[in-house]
Amino acid sequence: MVILKKNIINNLGYIAIISSIIIAEKVKTNASWLNIIKSEFGTIILVILIGIIVEVLITIFKD
Q: Is the pLDDT of residue 46 over 80?
A: yes
Give CA 40 to chain center in angstroms.
12
| 7-23 per-position pLDDT tens digit | 777 778 888 989 999 99
| 25-37 per-position pLDDT tens digit | 999 998 899 999 8
Q: Is the pLDDT of residue 3 over 90?
A: no
Alpha-carbon distances, residue 41 vs 10, 18, 50, 56 (angstroms): 22, 10, 14, 23
**Whether 26 contacts 33, CB under 8 Å:** yes
> Rounded to whole angstroms, how far apart are CA atoms 48 and 54?
10
> Rounded to whole angstroms, how far apart are CA atoms 7 and 39?
27
| pTM for this model (two decimals) | 0.73
